[in-house]
Structure 1
Amino acid sequence: MGRNLQTGERLRPVDLARRHGLSTQAIRNYEEAGILPAAGRTPTGYRTYTPLHAGALRAFLALVPGHGHRTATSVMQAVNRGADDAAFRLVDESHAQLLDDRRTLQAVEVALRDLGPAPAAGPAASGPGDTFIGPLARRLGIRPATLRKWEHAGLVHPRRDPQTGYRVYDEAAVRDARLAHQLRRGGYLLEQIAPLIAQVRAAGGLEPLEGALGDWHARLSARGRAMLTGAAELDAYLRERG
């Protein structure tokens, strides 16, 4: 069993702040947000903290790199109001998202591994692999406006039907849209994706994306490691809280 740290050493806001490289205002903000338990008060009204508050702060700061500020905040708020199961669910959801991101990366790699040279532009008439903006957007789970934005950024190049003026996405454009969607899921910006897709079109292979995929792998691994660190600090805080 952990010791009960709600008694013993008393810490001023400045003490807690200095130990973690923060401002005293940040400490007050964290308390007001429910990230830290409520502080004690001196007879004159000054806040006092204990090592238990320091443990809560360590847990929060350790959770942020793996789960993000918003989720880390929600986890600590749940823990501090005694809703441990709600906090564990939030942690589980982050792990599920990381697993989904790993699967997305794997899907990108599989798609690119079999990627051949982009086919030449076909005739104006629709081909067997052609589709319009609405069906393609639904297939990807995005809005048609997003596809138009990608087109403006140079990520996809649909042709126009000469009779209706509608956008027509051939197999190459569909491939580019799928690749753009997967890379956006991986956290890449449009300006980062556009040159990659341009290189893939020209090279017709995985090589142009090897560096980006390696970086993506590294970032997912760093998130996974950070989640382990966050879990350890959260467990320590729960044990000390009792």
Structure 2
Amino acid sequence: MLTVSALAAATGYSVQQVRDLERLGVIASANRAGNGYRQFSADHVRDLGAYRDLAYAVGPVEARRAMRAIRSLPTDQATALVCTFHARLNQEREQALAARAALEAIHSEAKTDANPVEADAMTITELSQALELRASTLRFWEQQGLVRPERIITRAGSARRYQLAAIREARITAALRAAGYRIPDVRKAITAIRDLDDAGHSLEALDARLITIAQRGLALIRAGATLVQIIRPIAEKAAAAPAMSSPRSQKP
């Protein structure tokens, strides 16, 4: 048996964190000694290790919810919950790969494009339709400094006109936002690409993201081995319950 201090030392968490995680249901409730002190076991060390990996893989909020849920959900639902994390992570990877491909394609276009002509420009309506976005999204990106359309004077006032450079910026922004990048991160990528002779910083950021996703995937696999051990006893208890209550199992 381990005291709360010993469990904290064995797992790298503070004593207060251990108490909080027990209260939140991340780990099973400890037994109590005759003097009222908590008594933890090797299972608690194992489960806190799984939580650490799961928190890195999917975030602490989702990890806490999952660790608590799988202790009470039916086996099929608990298993499905864990599988959704793998699916989401794979989706993140696919989006990052798609964004990287988009950046490479756009960078290649910058080297092969002919001099822009008037016909290459697009209105905000045309560009929003081409990117399957709302016009208000393009306006917001402009406010954030991600896209720089030209302003032309019309009889009705002024209108936005997107030349090739602004169209590329909008395409890059759309690709990075789809991959989950925050506005500040997209702004850094756009700043690097505006030179159009060096997309390296943006590509490096995507490569770093892909490495992080791979590391999170490994952490999720490590956590999964322990989650199976948590789910299995619950499943075995559920399977044994009908047999114990069956009339045939009861002596006359």
For the aligned pair, the TM-score class normalised by the smaller chain equals 0.7 to 0.9
Residue 21 in 1 paired to residue 27 in 2? Answer: no
Residue 227 in 1 paired to residue 220 in 2? Answer: yes
Please say if residues 128 and 138 of structure 2, whose CA atoms lie closer than 8 Å, have aligned partners that are also in contact: no
Match of 2:66 in 1: 75
Higher RCO structure (Cα 8 Å, ≥6 apart): 1
SS of the aligned residue for 1:165 comes to strand
Match of 2:166 in 1: 173
Match of 2:176 among 173, 179, 183: 183
Equivalent position amino acid for 1:17 in 2: A
Please say if residues 57 and 220 of structure 2, whose CA atoms lie closer than 8 Å, have aligned partners that are also in contact: yes
- Length-normalised TM-score, structure 1: 0.76
* Displacement after TM superposition at 1:240 (Å): 6.8
* Displacement after TM superposition at 1:119 (Å): 8.0
Match of 2:205 in 1: 212
Paired residues for 1:47-126 under 5 Å: 47-115=38-106, 116-117=109-110
TM-superposition CA deviations, 1:201-241 (whole Å, max 9, x none)? 33267545332232122112212222211212323444577
Match of 1:197 in 2: 190
The unaligned stretches of length 5 or more in structure 1 are 1-9
How much is the aligned-residue C-alpha RMSD, in angstroms?
3.3
- My pick for the range that moved more, 29-38 or 172-181, is 172-181
The CA distance in 2 between the partners of 1:137 and 1:38, in whole Å, is: 55
The 1:138–1:208 alpha-carbon spacing in structure 2 relative to 1, beyond 3 Å, is closer
The CA distance in 2 between the partners of 1:74 and 1:224, in whole Å, is: 19
TM-superposition CA deviations, 1:32-70 (whole Å, max 9, x none)? 111111222233432222222222222211211112112
Please say if residues 122 and 161 of structure 2, whose CA atoms lie closer than 8 Å, have aligned partners that are also in contact: no
* Displacement after TM superposition at 1:11 (Å): 1.8
Please say if residues 136 and 174 of structure 1, whose CA atoms lie closer than 8 Å, have aligned partners that are also in contact: no
The 1:121–1:62 alpha-carbon spacing in structure 2 relative to 1, beyond 3 Å, is same
Please say if residues 13 and 48 of structure 1, whose CA atoms lie closer than 8 Å, have aligned partners that are also in contact: yes
Match of 2:22 in 1: 31
- My pick for the range that moved more, 114-123 or 156-165, is 114-123
Match of 2:243 in 1: none
* Displacement after TM superposition at 1:26 (Å): 0.8
The 1:19–1:195 alpha-carbon spacing in structure 2 relative to 1, beyond 3 Å, is closer
The CA distance in 1 between the partners of 2:64 and 2:126, in whole Å, is: 39
- My pick for the range that moved more, 17-26 or 219-228, is 219-228
The unaligned stretches of length 5 or more in structure 2 are 237-252
Which has the larger share of helix?
Answer: 2
Seq. identity, %: 29
Match of 2:124 among 100, 121, 131: 131
Larger C-alpha radius of gyration, 1 or 2?
2
